[in-house]
A and B are shown apart, each in its own frame.
Chain A
Amino acid sequence: MHELIGSLLILLGTFFHFSAGLGMLRMPDAFTRMQAGTKASTLGNALILIGIAFYHPGWTLKLVILIYFVFMTNPISSHALARAARAIGIPMARKSDARPDATSAALRDGV
Chain B
Amino acid sequence: MISTMVLVTGLAVMLIGLWGVLTHRNILRIIISLSLIGTGTHILIVAIGYVRGGTAPIIDGALTVADAPARAVDPIPSALVVTAIVIGLAVTAVLLAYAIRLYDAKKTLSIDAFTESKW
Contact present between A and B (CB < 8 A) = no
**A interface vs B, CB < 8 Å?**
none
